[in-house]
């Protein structure tokens, strides 16, 4: 059976050289290889094909059959790695917490420990008749989160 380590050995130097980050890598039973790649500018189909061919030429189908799927992470799918947070700074996101609560806001910062979102709320200040827009920053630790994904608007 083909292993993740074998795939990483084949593609790591190419990804590093091209400033591409690995979002996800799985090798399922039956040697179905699933790879998700991205860059800060997005990934092209041509690059996915190039990586697929690199892997394909490294194995002999006569000895061990396999299937390869190389793609970019789906637009509406949850983030998996820090690079995705960094890439999407400035975008509106939906955060689902481990306890099931949800919030929405603009991703404004991310590091290895937490990320921050900017939340807009209508708040009625004391002594005033009308609500006013209030913007607050909320730091969120990664371990508090079940999923984070982009809010897609058209």
pLDDT of the residue at 74: 85
pLDDT of the residue at 10: 96
Cα 124 to Cα 11: distance, rounded to the nearest angstrom: 55
Q: What is the CATH number of domain 82-150?
A: 2.30.30.100
Cα 145 to Cα 129: distance, rounded to the nearest angstrom: 36
pLDDT of the residue at 128: 85
Note the CATH architecture for domain 4-71: 2-Layer Sandwich (3.30)
pLDDT of the residue at 127: 85
102 contacts 95 by C-beta, under 8 angstroms: yes
Where are the chain's structural domains?
4-71, 82-150
pLDDT of the residue at 59: 93
The domains spanning 4-71 and 82-150 adopt the same CATH topology: no
pLDDT of the residue at 9: 96
Give the residue ranges of the chain where pLDDT is below 70. none
Sheet holding 67-71, edge to edge: 21-28, 32-38, 67-71
For residue 68, the tally of other CB atoms under 10 A from its CB is: 19
For residue 143, the tally of other CB atoms under 10 A from its CB is: 8
């Amino acid at each position: 059976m083909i292993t993740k380590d074998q795939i990483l050995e084949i593609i790591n130097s190419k990804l590093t050289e091209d400033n591409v980050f690995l979002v996800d890598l799985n090798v399922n039973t039956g040697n179905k290889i699933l790879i998700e790649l991205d860059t800060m500018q997005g990934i092209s189909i041509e690059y996915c094909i190039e990586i697929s061919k690199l892997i394909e030429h490294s194995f002999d189908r006569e000895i061990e059959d396999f299937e390869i799927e190389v793609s970019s992470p789906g637009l509406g799918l949850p983030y998996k790695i820090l690079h995705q947070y960094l890439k999407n700074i400035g975008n509106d996101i939906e955060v689902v917490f481990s306890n099931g609560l949800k919030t929405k806001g603009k991703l404004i910062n991310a590091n290895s420990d937490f990320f921050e979102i900017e939340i807009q709320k209508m708040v009625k200040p004391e002594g005033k008749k009308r609500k006013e827009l209030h913007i607050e920053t909320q730091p969120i630790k990664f371990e508090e989160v079940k999923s984070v994904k982009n809010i897609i608007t058209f």
